[in-house]
Structure 1
Amino acid sequence: MRAEQPVPAVADAATVPAARAPERKRREKRDPRLSVASLFSEEKARRLWDSLPEEHRQDHFDSTNMPTDYLQAFSTRTTDKKRGWFTQSLSLRGLQEPMLWELAWCVHQQVADGYAVNTTRMGELRRGLVLAVEHGSQAARAAKSLTALTHEEWGREVRGALMRMNASVNAYLPAWVENGVKHLQDCLAHAYHDGDWWRLNVWNPAPDRRVPQREHEPHGRAVANFSQLTSDWLREAAKWWLSAQLSTERYVWSSVKSRLDHLKWFQWYIDQAGCAVPQLVESPGQLRPWPRGFVDSLNSHTVMTGPNKGGKLAKNSRRGPLVTIEAFYRWMYDNSAEAASVLGDARWTRLGLQHTVLFRLEDKPRLTNQLPDDMVLEEEVVSKITAGSGLLAAPKHEGGLDDRQAFHALMLLVRTGRRMNEVLMMDFDPLLPLVTTGTRQNSEPDGFVARLVYQQTKITGGDPPTIPVDQEIVDIICRQQEWACEFLAAQGAPAGTKPRYLFLQTKNNRLGKRPYASATFHSRLGALTEKLAITDSVGRPVKISRTHTFRHTRATDLINAGVPIHVVMRYLGHVTPAMTMHYAKTLAVTAEREFLRYKKVTADGRTTEVNPSDLYDLLHLDQRADRVLPNGWCMLPPRQVCSKGNTCLTCDKFVTDASHRDELQHQLSETEALIARRQTQFTARHGEPMGEDNIWLAGRLAETRALTKVLVALDQVSVHEDGQLRAVCGAGTAGRPEPPSTPPQQEPTA
């Protein structure tokens, strides 16, 4: 959690002002240790130029030489008065060749990645650079590359040139040049870097394609910045360790980000305690107090921002850094000889076995994953969400959010129970035919009609990530496909362009290569939560942005419907049954709570002497599935066989509660109607009705008397006591309701 991450190691956690946080975020993608100028050479710049297709190696682009893929990517148009039609143009003239080559390569990369090129901004950037190299300082006039000066220096050179010329131009020109050069230098830094990709302090997968990533990475555009690890030995070793884990697919990109955050805690303590060597202390005998001090610092740390402000770190937030640091040191110990060679630091060979177990078992809090009791949404709540979800797609002038994509994604989340990124990162065409025999699917219009392929980004292995879906889900996907095609056409994508994803990022995504951002989706659902203001049955606000509640609800519904665990496990994409039972726990708690809501009565209308909690345990521990009756439960021991037949209502082993009242009332009505019919038939045949000594009539009358007693007893039982749900205790236990002062009147025996 962001609020529980340490501040940069260069300052005390308690004194860093909150206002500096946005500044750190802006610097996150920069590598202050990487000198771009030192990487440049004319040979490398020429290599970039030669890598472009021949039609893209131009110093200007207009209607006469515009490549087809550039035609729609150039977003600003100028009027061609001679021809009377609109065309795009971009000039790179006036710059020395290496700088022109760099600009042409960066423009090509931007177009190839599906970004739109603002030709007005790019033209102003070129204009500012020309002013700087023609009228700037000696350093600017001698510059051959965009990397010759920092982006701040380029901005100053443009301001100086304008002052010398006393020119009246766009007041934003220096700022545009500064920001534009900054972005271009980020791209060129990775293009010019010939060494191992992991030696850079900033790992940015967007411009640096060497960073290993999965084909579908939810956090693929996030940046890992190692600059905050200010101890050289820790920073270089951490980069080598994490690159090895990433390259061997032991860690995914999001794992690298979390492990780096853990190591920032380590750096935070190093700055406090003082440490200049990888082995932490000079002699093995001094090691034990060092990690113990780190544990104490974590335990006593006060959170400075966020919802837990002023409190202590959560158990999982304290456990994570300890586990990561031990894993890091174990790996460095196992590879200490290679570390000394690769990192050029022989001190890593001084690690000992004591470094592989830095923390005691009791130092690491037990991993907790205690879910709140509102993870499963009530049926009425789900109905309200689906009924109000249309606001996501409604136009803003009608009070909506004007986001059809968010509306379609929410509908899929509710109906399928997939994780958020499994929906947002689905392929554009995620449907497969459902393999069936005969025409069974055609005869059941409400049944499954296809299989949905989703992106399994959390768990590797297991069955292929597909689930069967019905026609309603297919229709939602078709509507989203239509929207995606309309979006690409509006962005000017070439005809026939097929987007990579079904849900698309709407900014700088001309070719549909980037999926809808999860942060944007959370923001939309948060706004929908405020507009709908839904509460559950106990008045708690329902946060629609907690998308995992839809997964818990779907899983619980499947288990509650009697779907076998292994089928639910496959549907949820789990590898082990234990993961699926994590969702079943909610159902078990709900089932027990419902069982204990009602007092249990026997066939003669008396409250059962067995404690309801004990009764619930007995029924489940003995696995008495054959003892569950349509109108109650049978308490006959599991190894005994019932020889009474259908006489549960006159058996002292029968128990029921108010949850079966409708069934019992229906059974009473049916029995009374049956007695009346049989009496009519008996009288017509024998000339007189059956007497009460008739064995059949005596049995039925006994049933009706038992049903009447049970219903009267249930009507007298209150479900709520003192506003709480309580079970009735058995004989000899505390809390048992006292007997009435006057015993109830017993019906006369027939």
Structure 2
Amino acid sequence: MNPRPTTASPSRISHPWLREAAKWCLGTQLEAGILRWSTVSQERMRCLVRFDRWLSTFADPLDVLGDPAHGVQLAAAFRRWDSDPANRLTRQSERRFAHKPVHSRQINDDLRAVAELFAFVAANPAEARQVLGVEPWSRVRVAHAAGWFRQVSRIPHQRDLNDEHYVDDHALAQIPAALPLLGLGRDEQMAITRGDGHQISARGFDDPQAMRMILLQILTGRRASEIHTCLFDCLFPVPNKTVDAAEGEEVARFHYAQSKIDIAPDNILVDREVVAIIEEQQQWIRERFPGITPRHLFMQRTGNRQGDKPYPSGTYNWMLREFSKPVKITDSRGKPVGLIHTHRFRHTQLTRLAELGLSVHVLMRYAGHATPSMSMHYVAARQEHAEQAFLATAKLRADGTHVTFSRDDHDSMHLFNRADRFLPHGWCMLPPLQTCDKGNACLTCPVFVTDASHQPALERQLAETEALINRTTAAFQEQHGRPMPEDNIWLLQRRAEHAALTKLLDTIRTKPGQAVQGAGCETATTGPVALTLDLDRSRRTRP
């Protein structure tokens, strides 16, 4: 049984043969654990409802199960119909989106839903005859699904540096200042400063629950569903021997309503600020609903005599939408920040934690994700933070002289776009349009840069270079009976690398926290090498 009401159900599919197939296919995938209720109700069923509406434009809807050779043309016709925003509207309240372009990803989802339904029926013919009967699904072949899959378009990969879902400090500073308006009574007014700098007097919304819910989302990075459906008793003490908290800092374990990933954790450690918000909400519930044992921390205010109904998600979204209108939150670029998109606070919190240096497995545990790749998807790779991280340490040449970079340094910023600029022991600052002919001789190159973070690699390279020189000179001595000449071209190069490494490490150790541009050492002598030839010894003489 569906644990929560759905916005799309099989009853909205008008064609009986399609409705029964959708129920069988999606029900089987639910039982097998391939899909979850949220995916079925919010995505798959909506896609099939749109497919059903498109079939209603046909004189004979069963033509879609006809000749598989025509599958590609039918899928292309559905793509064109589905790309019209007016054809995707299902409710009167959605009319305001009638002119909003349809993203290719949304059309691809509809095409895949139909193709997967055809593929499922074609792959299980015996079961299909028992559940759906012989007609009309006996006509479906794998070729039908292939024709629809072929219409799924390829969406170009988005740029790596993406801060679209990140809420910057400028916007976050405005939100707490305006949030008391949410909890203020409707007969009261409050003066607020909007994002555009104008001061206005706005009437309260009388919803302190929504105020605390969005605060918890901002502070914890939890999903909206994990907050508004969490249990009333969601705080648990943490033994002192388990967690070493800062002096004077209270830490508790917050159990949220994790229902998206079965194997993911459902609790995190929270600080005193989060604990205070939750305790304030618990006290409000006790005063608002006396005489009952509340089940949820955030409860539906009306029609909830037993106290077992959580705060409705639709009410939460509507409240935040209406609240956003008067406050007009904007980011540092003046772009409006709609508070209804609360998932942005999850992206923001995980990005901030990643920028603080948390390892991937710790970030994954805090986010409640099952894979590291999902956690990395939530982290906004901000260009600003990348530049700040690079410029945080002073760069030095091997002779100890400083290299000064500014935020406007064009060549240095190319480090973040070109993988060939990253070296095991530093960075290559060669301009992007030039090529390198030095091979791996970076230590004698004036555009090589390193810093203290590469100290272990540099120390290891110094030891290996010294060992290589000793081993090779000893082998030369044993083979030729004399020391290797100091003007030997190989030895000159190795001595130069050894000197460069020594200077680099001396500078790094002398000034911790500083760092270095490579090659401040003297390079190997270039040009002709003087040779003395014994002409008499080499000349052949006649007897």
Is TM (by shorter chain) over 0.5?
yes
Separation in 1, partners of 2:297, 2:10: 34
- 2:502 matched to 1:643? yes
Give the equivalent residue in structure 2 for 1:129: none
Pair 1:550 & 2:339 matched: no
Distance 1:614 1:229 in 2: 53
Counterpart of 2:383 in structure 1: which amino acid? V
- Would you say 1:473 and 2:274 are equivalent positions? yes
Q: How does 1:384-533 map to 2 (within 5 A)?
A: 384-399=174-189, 400-437=204-241, 440-441=244-245, 444-446=247-249, 449-462=251-264, 464-489=265-290, 495=291, 497-533=292-328
Q: Give the conservation status (yes or no) of the 8 Å contact 1:555–1:572.
A: yes
Shift of 1:390: 1.9
Distance 1:549 1:227, change over 3 A: closer
Shift of 1:636: 8.6
- Report the structure number with the largest CA radius of gyration: 1
Indicate whether 1:574 and 2:369 are aligned: yes
SS class of match (1:437): coil
Cα distance in 2 between the residues matched to 1:260 and 1:439? 45
Going from structure 1 to structure 2, the CA distance change for 1:414 and 1:391 (only over 3 Å counts) comes to same
Taking the aligned partners of 2:256 and 2:391, their CA distance within structure 1 comes to 40
Over the aligned positions, Cα root-mean-square deviation in angstroms equals: 4.0
Residue in structure 1 matched with residue 40 of structure 2 by the alignment = 256
Alignment partners' CA distance in 2, 1:601 and 1:607? 11
Whether 1:592 aligns to 2:374 is no
Counterparts of residues 647-726 of structure 1 (less than 5 Å): 647=507, 654=516
Greater Cα offset, 336-345 or 562-571: 336-345
Deviation at 1:563, TM superposition (A): 1.1
TM-score, normalised by the number of residues in structure 1:
0.50
Return structure 1 stretches of 4+ with deviation > 6 angstroms: 367-372, 595-602, 604-610, 635-638
Matching residue of 2:144: 355
Secondary structure of the structure 2 residue equivalent to 1:266: helix
Give 1:363's aligned amino acid.
Answer: V
Instruction: Say whether residues 1:269 and 2:54 are aligned partners.
Output: yes
Whole-angstrom CA distance in 2 between matches of 1:358 and 1:366: 19
Query: Which protein has greater RCO, CA pairs closer than 8 Å, 6+ apart?
Result: 2
The change in CA–CA distance for 1:532 and 1:286 in structure 2 (over 3 A counts) is: closer
Corresponding residue for residue 323 of structure 1: 112
Distance in structure 2 (CA, Å) of the matches to 1:312 and 1:383: 32
**Sequence identity of aligned pairs in percent?**
29
Q: 2-side partners of 1:566 and 1:232: how far apart?
A: 48
User: Taking structure 2 as the reference length, what is the TM-score of the superposition?
Assistant: 0.68
Letter in 1 for 2:173: S
**CA distance in structure 1 between the aligned counterparts of 2:81 and 2:13, rounded to whole angstroms:** 18
Deviation at 1:286, TM superposition (A): 4.5
Tell me how far apart the structure 2 counterparts of residues 566 and 467 of structure 1 sit (CA, whole Å).
14
Aligned-partner Cα distance in 2 for 1:437–1:473: 21
Please give the secondary structure, in 2, of the residue aligned with 1:272.
coil
Contact kept? 1:600, 1:612, Cα under 8 Å: no
Amino acid at match of 2:126: A
Tell me the secondary structure at the aligned position of residue 411 of structure 1.
helix
Taking a change above 3 Å as real, the CA distance of residues 295 and 340 of structure 1, as seen in their structure-2 partners, is same
Are the structure 2 counterparts of residues 479 and 623 from structure 1 closer, same or farther at C-alpha, using a change threshold of 3 Å? farther
Q: Report the Cα distance in structure 2 between the residues aligned to 1:523 and 1:623, rounded to whole angstroms.
A: 54
User: Which letter maps to 2:146?
Assistant: V
Contact 2:15/2:52 (<8 A) preserved = yes
After superposition, give the CA deviation of every residue in 1:545-586 in whole Å (9 maximum; x if it has no partner).
Answer: 2212211121111111111110011100111110111133x2
Conserved 8 A contact 1:302-1:311:
no
Cα 1:428–1:291 change in 2 (3 A) is: same
For structure 1, the residue ranges without an aligned partner over 5 or more in a row are 1-211, 215-219, 490-494, 657-750
**Unpaired runs of 5+ in structure 2?**
190-203, 428-448, 463-499, 519-543
User: 2-side partners of 1:265 and 1:563: how far apart?
Assistant: 44
Q: Name the CA shift for 1:549/1:284 in 2 (closer, same or farther; >3 Å).
A: closer
Paired residues of 1:432 and 1:450 also in contact (CA < 8 A)? yes
In 1, the alpha carbon distance for the partners of 2:253 and 2:186 equals 35
Distance 2:252 2:270 in 1: 6
Given that 1:316 and 1:367 are in contact with CA atoms closer than 8 Å, whether structure 2 keeps it comes out as no
Distance verdict in 2 for CA 1:307–1:514, change over 3 Å: same
